[in-house]
């Protein structure tokens, strides 16, 4: 199937896809999930290409693998684990079995415990030594940070709980900048770590403990933990009633839906958090039931495969025209690149197509005044993914929202249409002539024919955010199945961790640099000379 797709691509690569965009294409090349619309009409995918992409999904067995995932089969084969973050949002979907046992009573029990705790923090029943909690500091990294940090920002209009802060980096600048804004006597520290061993998180947690101990007599009483390792949370001194546990079938970058979402729940309240879960569940139902051509996650994945593995575009820009989604690109970098940035397939055989793309982005319109120059006129094609809401939350500033929307639509139109040399000449014909006119006109040519997709939704509510995040999770899943890889392990982060541990005594000067390569030894020397 790869060959058929590559052959088809070779046949159509040179055409201008704007010529495909007739009155019917917008309907034919879009799909809906609930009231969310996914438009991929501004790509070079035609009916033949789409049929071949769908054949590819079928050939890879995406439907069977999807059903295996939802059924709790251990599809994370290298770690022997089920992949069941979907169970965390399965509010009314019935039993989910793992090894013959229904996990839903445990999931719903933990959700209730989180709701009770969040409510008590929000209404002041749970207090710090100095009174009602004013600040929540979530200490975690990777999936234990990016999800809640992204979602708390995304749902800022719904935030009516205490202030939420996120500390992730082991760089002391991170935690110092947060703690200096908080009062230890009214701060709740949440230590979020699936494993409760991650060095950055445990180091920051101990720093927060020492900071609090300067003011508060019982620091443990103002700490909560989110983890699969309850023995380790107890050893850290966090009482079991404030430990919210989950199972190893929830991957770190898929964990926002459960206890790792506690800071989000405290920020927006349990009801809004459940609306977020329901949005995710609605996307699950859609993913399980819609035909591939109508299936938004499947088609988003198919377009991704077309652009990356077939067209050879190595990066993808995620461009939310929704400022509150400012952390979405960073969140997706972990979700997509940690999941699908693999070099071998499930059997350990080298991939013969490229793995997942480099994902990057910034909110529009800021990006327009920064890197869009390269997107429009650079020599590389960067497929763009626009996200846009019909309405913001600032009713009195609706005219600004309309301007935002106009900018979003203008960018995808400009990428598709471009500007010819003739049009560019006309633009500057009143200012220049002769050779200078030609030279100036050339700088104003836009090649166009650059693909983009647009995800449009009514408003960024908790429900819609749930739809969006579940959509991206399933897109990653589909792409991973087509590549034949394991999207649920992350061995690629291990080597750096091991070397950092080994380098710590070298940096501290208790071990020499003899065993190190010349470059590393020289850098250690420079940093030591300068005070490390």
Q: Which residues bind ligand F6P (CB under 6 A)?
A: 141-144, 193-195, 198, 201, 252-253, 338, 490, 493
Q: What is the DSSP letter of 81?
A: B
* Residue number, 322 or 336, with CB nearest to ligand F6P: 336
Sort 239 into a burial class: Cβ within 10 Å, 0-12 / 13-18 / 19+: middle
3-class DSSP string for 190-203: EEECCCCCCHHHHH
Site of tokens 């070298």: 506
Nearer to ligand F6P, 193 or 487 (CB): 193
**3-class secondary-structure state, position 341:** coil
- Closer residue to ligand F6P (CB): 236 or 372: 236
Q: Residue 161: which of 191, 120, 131, 109 has the closest Cα?
A: 120
The smaller minimum CB distance to ligand F6P, of residues 44 and 144, is found at 144
Positions marked active-site = 338, 369, 497
Strands (E), 361-519: 384-391, 452-459
| Cα–Cα separations (whole angstroms), residue 172 to 198, 200, 209, 430 | 16, 10, 14, 58
User: For residues 349 and 355, what is the distance between their CA atoms, to the nearest angstrom?
Assistant: 13
CB of 278 to ligand F6P, least distance (A): 24
Report the C-alpha gap between 226 and 514 in whole angstroms: 41
Phi, psi of 340 (to 5 degrees): -115, 15
Per-residue CA distances from 298 to 38, 44, 50, 304, 362 (Å): 11, 17, 11, 10, 24
DSSP annotation string for 118-150: HHHHHHTSSEETTEE--EEEEE--GGGTHHHHH
* Residue closer to ligand F6P (CB basis): 252 or 269: 252
Q: What count of residues does the chain have?
A: 532
CB of 190 to ligand F6P, least distance (A): 12
**Residue nearer to ligand F6P on the CB measure, 187 or 333:** 333
**Is residue 124 classed exposed, middle or buried when 0-12, 13-18 and 19+ CB atoms within 10 A define those classes?**
exposed
Going by the DSSP 8-state scheme, the letter that residue 336 receives in this structure is I
Residue 322 CB-half CA count within 13 A: 34
User: What is the smallest separation between the CB atom of 193 and ligand F6P, expressed in angstroms?
Assistant: 3
The SS3 call for residue 446 is: strand
Burial of 131 (0-12, 13-18, 19+ CB in 10 A): exposed
Q: Scanning the structure block, which residue is given the tokens 């940070």?
A: 145
Q: CA angle, corner 487, sides to 225 and 482, nearest 5?
A: 155
Residues whose CB is less than 8 angstroms from the CB of residue 114 and which lie 6 or more positions away in sequence, other chains included: 244, 259, 261, 262, 265, 270
SS3 of the chain: helix, strand, coil, percent, to 5: 55, 15, 30
Q: Which is nearer to ligand F6P, 75 or 415 (CB)?
A: 75
Give the residue with the Cβ less far from ligand F6P, 135 or 338: 338
- Residue (76 or 201) nearer to ligand F6P, CB: 201
CB of residue 451 to ligand F6P, shortest distance in Å: 31
């Amino acid at each position: 199937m790869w060959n058929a797709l590559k052959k088809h691509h070779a046949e159509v690569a040179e055409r201008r896809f704007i010529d495909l965009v007739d009155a019917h294409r917008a309907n034919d090349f879009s799909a809906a999930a609930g009231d969310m619309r996914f438009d991929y009409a501004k790509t070079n995918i035609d009916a033949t290409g789409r049929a071949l992409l769908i054949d590819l999904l079928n050939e890879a067995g995406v439907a069977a693998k999807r059903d295996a995932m939802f059924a709790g089969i251990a599809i994370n084969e290298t770690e022997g684990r089920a992949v069941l973050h979907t169970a965390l949002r399965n509010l009314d979907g019935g039993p989910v079995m793992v090894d013959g046992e229904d996990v839903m009573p445990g999931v719903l029990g933990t959700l209730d415990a989180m709701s009770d705790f969040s409510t008590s923090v929000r209404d002041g029943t749970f207090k710090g030594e100095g009174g009602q909690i004013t600040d929540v500091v979530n200490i975690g990294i990777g999936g234990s940070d990016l999800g809640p940090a992204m979602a708390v920002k995304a749902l800022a209009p719904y935030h009516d709980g205490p202030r939420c802060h996120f500390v992730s980096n082991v760089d002391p600048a991170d935690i110092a900048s947060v703690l200096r804004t908080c009062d230890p006597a009214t701060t709740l520290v949440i230590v979020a770590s699936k494993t409760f061993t991650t060095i950055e998180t445990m180091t920051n947690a101990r720093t927060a403990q020492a900071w609090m101990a300067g003011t508060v007599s019982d620091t443990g009483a103002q700490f909560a933990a989110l983890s699969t390792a309850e023995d380790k949370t107890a050893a850290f001194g966090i009482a079991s009633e404030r430990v919210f546990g989950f199972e190893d079938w929830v991957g770190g970058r898929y964990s926002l839906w459960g206890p790792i979402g506690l800071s989000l729940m405290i920020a927006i309240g349990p009801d809004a958090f459940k609306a977020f879960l329901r949005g995710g569940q609605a996307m699950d139902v859609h993913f399980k039931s819609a035909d591939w051509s109508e299936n938004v996650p499947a088609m988003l994945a198919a377009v991704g495969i077309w652009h990356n593995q077939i067209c050879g575009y190595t990066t993808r820009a995620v461009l939310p025209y929704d400022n509150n989604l400012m952390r979405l690109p960073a969140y997706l970098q972990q979700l997509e690149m940690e999941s699908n940035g693999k070099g071998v397939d499930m059997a350990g055989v080298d991939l013969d197509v490229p793995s997942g793309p480099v994902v990057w982005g910034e909110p529009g319109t800021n990006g327009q005044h920064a890197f869009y120059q390269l997107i429009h006129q650079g020599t590389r094609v960067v497929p763009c993914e626009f996200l846009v809401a019909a309405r913001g939350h600032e009713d009195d500033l609706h005219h600004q929202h309309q301007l935002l929307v106009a900018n979003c639509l203008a960018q995808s139109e400009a990428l598709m249409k471009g500007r010819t040399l003739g049009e560019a000449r006309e633009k500057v014909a009143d200012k220049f002539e002769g050779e200078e006119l030609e030279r100036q006109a050339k700088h104003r040519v836009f090649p166009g024919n650059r693909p983009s997709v647009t995800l449009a939704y009514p408003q960024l509510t908790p429900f819609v955010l749930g739809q969006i995040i579940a959509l991206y999770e399933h897109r990653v899943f589909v792409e991973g199945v087509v590549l034949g890889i394991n999207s649920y392990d992350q061995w690629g982060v291990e080597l750096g961790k091991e070397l950092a541990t080994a380098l710590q005594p070298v940096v501290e000067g208790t071990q020499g640099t003899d065993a190190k390569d010349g470059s590393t030894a020289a850098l250690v020397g420079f940093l030591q000379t300068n005070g490390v």
